[in-house]
Structure 1
Amino acid sequence: MAAEEGQAKILRVVEYDNQDIVVGKYPFLYEDPNTPELAELRENYQLERVVGGGSEFERQVALRCWRATRFVHGIHRPEGMKVNRRMAWNALAYLEAAEQGATFTCPVAAATYVQLCLAMGWQARLVEICQASKEWIPPVEGNVAHCVSEVWSNDYRKWVLMDPDGNVHYARDGVPVSALELHDAWVNHEAEAVEMVQGDPPFRTDGSQQSKTFDVKKEFEIFFRHRVMDYYEEIRTTMRNNHFSRPSYGRDNGTGFLPQVVWTDSSSLPMVMRTGRLRPHVFYSGRREDFEWTLNQAHIELESADDKDPFAITAMLRVNLSTVTPWFSHFEVRLDDGEWRRSAATFVIRLRKGVNRIQARPVNVMGIKGIVSTVAMERDDEEPEWRR
Structure 2
Amino acid sequence: MKNLIICLSYAFLLSGCTALNIFPSKNISKLSFAIESMNPEFQFYFPDQNKDSIIFKIKENYPIEEVIKGVTDEQTKILSALNWVRNQWEHNSWNDAGTNDAFIILQRAEQGEKFRCVEYGIVLKSVLATIGMKSRTLGLMTRDVEKVKMGAGHVLTEVWLNDHKKWAMVDAQFDVMPILNNVPLNAVEFQSAIVEKEDFSLINISGELSSKERNKFMGFIPHYLYYFTIAFDESTIQPDQIFKFNGNSSLTLIP
| 1:111 is the counterpart of 2:122 | yes
**What do you get for the CA RMSD once the two structures are aligned?**
3.2
Asked which structure has the greater CA Rg, the reply is 1
Among residues 208, 228, 232, which one is paired with 1:239 in the alignment? 232
The corresponding residue for 2:239 is 248
The corresponding residue for 1:228 is 221
The corresponding residue for 1:170 is 178
Kept after mapping to 1: 8 A contact 2:46/2:135 = no
Identity %: 19
| 1:95 is the counterpart of 2:70 | no
1:181-220 equivalence runs, <5 A: 181-186=189-194, 189-199=195-205
The corresponding residue for 2:157 is 149
Deviation at 1:69, TM superposition (A): 1.1
Q: In structure 2, do the counterparts of structure 1 residues 27 and 99 end up closer, same or farther at CA, with 3 Å as the change threshold?
A: same
Give SS of 2:224's match. Answer: helix
One-letter code aligned to 2:43: P
Deviation at 1:49, TM superposition (A): 0.9
The corresponding residue for 1:130 is 141
Query: What is the rounded CA distance, in whole Å, between the counterparts of 1:58 and 1:148 in structure 2?
Result: 18
Query: What is the rounded CA distance, in whole Å, between the counterparts of 2:225 and 2:204 in structure 1?
Result: 18
Q: In structure 2, do the counterparts of structure 1 residues 182 and 75 end up closer, same or farther at CA, with 3 Å as the change threshold?
A: closer
Q: In structure 2, do the counterparts of structure 1 residues 178 and 75 end up closer, same or farther at CA, with 3 Å as the change threshold?
A: closer
The corresponding residue for 1:64 is 82
Query: What is the rounded CA distance, in whole Å, between the counterparts of 1:178 and 1:43 in structure 2?
Result: 31
Give SS of 1:148's match. Answer: strand
Query: What is the rounded CA distance, in whole Å, between the counterparts of 1:157 and 1:229 in structure 2?
Result: 25
Among residues 154, 158, 161, which one is paired with 2:166 in the alignment? 158
The corresponding residue for 1:262 is 252
Deviation at 1:44, TM superposition (A): 1.3
Deviation at 1:248, TM superposition (A): 3.0
Long gaps (5+) in structure 2: 1-36, 210-214
Among residues 68, 77, 84, which one is paired with 1:51 in the alignment? 68
Deviation at 1:224, TM superposition (A): 3.9
Deviation at 1:242, TM superposition (A): 1.2
Query: What is the rounded CA distance, in whole Å, between the counterparts of 2:108 and 2:222 in structure 1?
Result: 31
Instruction: Name the TM-score, length of structure 1 as normaliser.
Output: 0.48
| 1:27 is the counterpart of 2:43 | yes
Give SS of 1:156's match. Answer: coil
Kept after mapping to 2: 8 A contact 1:238/1:259 = yes
Give SS of 2:82's match. Answer: helix
Query: What is the rounded CA distance, in whole Å, between the counterparts of 1:202 and 1:193 in structure 2?
Result: 13
Give SS of 1:193's match. Answer: coil
One-letter code aligned to 1:194: F
Give SS of 2:225's match. Answer: helix
Give SS of 2:87's match. Answer: helix
Kept after mapping to 2: 8 A contact 1:71/1:104 = yes
Q: In structure 2, do the counterparts of structure 1 residues 247 and 202 end up closer, same or farther at CA, with 3 Å as the change threshold?
A: farther
Query: What is the rounded CA distance, in whole Å, between the counterparts of 2:94 and 2:222 in structure 1?
Result: 27
Query: What is the rounded CA distance, in whole Å, between the counterparts of 2:166 and 2:67 in structure 1?
Result: 24
1:291-310 equivalence runs, <5 A: none
Give SS of 1:70's match. Answer: coil
Deviation at 1:55, TM superposition (A): 0.2
The corresponding residue for 1:304 is none
Query: What is the rounded CA distance, in whole Å, between the counterparts of 2:120 and 2:107 in structure 1?
Result: 13
Give SS of 1:167's match. Answer: coil
Query: What is the rounded CA distance, in whole Å, between the counterparts of 1:202 and 1:107 in structure 2?
Result: 25
1:274-285 equivalence runs, <5 A: none
Deviation at 1:258, TM superposition (A): 7.5
Kept after mapping to 2: 8 A contact 1:149/1:163 = yes
Alignment length, in residue pairs? 208
Deviation at 1:23, TM superposition (A): 6.6
Query: What is the rounded CA distance, in whole Å, between the counterparts of 1:198 and 1:227 in structure 2?
Result: 17
Q: In structure 2, do the counterparts of structure 1 residues 234 and 194 end up closer, same or farther at CA, with 3 Å as the change threshold?
A: farther
